[in-house]
Copies of this chain bind each other. A is one copy, B any other.
Amino acid sequence: MSTVRGARERARIEVTAAIKDEARRQLAADGAAKLSLRAVARELGMVSSALYRYFPSRDELLTALIVDAYDSVGEAAESAHRTADPGPSTSAAHLARWVAVACAVRGWALEHPHEYALIYGSPVPGYTAPQATIGPASRVGRVLIAVVEDAHREVGLALPPLGEELRPEAERLAADLAPELPPAVAVSIVAAWSQLFGLLSFEIFGQFNRVVEDRDIFFRHAVEELARTVGLLGTAGRGQTGTAGRARR
């Protein structure tokens, strides 16, 4: 009897996966706004009403795709964090971990541009994301926080500046997201988090066309600089440029 239930459940999981796969295909072709239950069913040789056994509405299917996408990038980031060279706890190693996570997210985005657009692009008209998406949506951010927390614990951070009028927000952010970190760093991480996706959106959505050529190297450089803004130190604690100051002709 348990084997029967097992078989049923296996079948259910398989059909559910097939529906989502086909939905993702249509996402890539026509965009989230035009995702249609009927078209998915047709393509799968089912009848549209049968889909309702698996997803109670079109919006719930969309939600499932969104959650899957967040989990997929989140997993990519977490895996990069886990497998990053666990060598000596130097500043350089922590910086390398930050870069590895960012590059993993970028790799995912380049491989799944349509799912990227689904979660980080324009909102789908008429659809409002339910509570269920907010957990998965924060996974990448939590990895970034973890990298900085490790660095803070093991080698320390350069404290970013923090204006007085930002202090309340900074303390709220730190309390909510990273109680171990100084408030100024919490603010900088949130900013860096969004700026990381700014780099990615411009690349994925084509704003870098005819502008940035060598995107691998450009991205790597940009996220290294981003790491500096959250207090990660790099090799030698270089605050400004080596030969800083003024630069004219």
Given contacts A29-B125, A239-B239, A202 and B212 within 8 Å (CB-CB): no
Chain B residue nearest to A124 in the complex (CB): B31
A246 with B213: CB separation less than 8 A: no
Q: How many chain-A residues does the 8 Å CB contact rule pick out?
A: 80
A171 to chain B, nearest CB (A): 11
C-beta contact mask, A174-190 vs B, less than 8 Å → 1, else 0?
00110000100001101
A247 with B157: CB separation less than 8 A: yes
A87 at the interface (CB under 8 A from B): no
B207 with A198: CB separation less than 8 A: no
Given contacts A229-B229, A237-B245, A123 and B205 within 8 Å (CB-CB): yes
A15 at the interface (CB under 8 A from B): no
Q: How far is the CA of A245 from the CA of B134 in the complex (A)?
A: 35
A239 to chain B, nearest CB (A): 3
A159 at the interface (CB under 8 A from B): yes
Given contacts A121-B121, A122-B31, A168-B214, A199 and B206 within 8 Å (CB-CB): no
Pairs of residues from A and B, 10 with the lowest C-beta to C-beta distance, nearest first: A198-B198, A121-B122, A239-B240, A156-B246, A195-B195, A117-B122, A31-B125, A194-B202, A239-B239, A33-B33
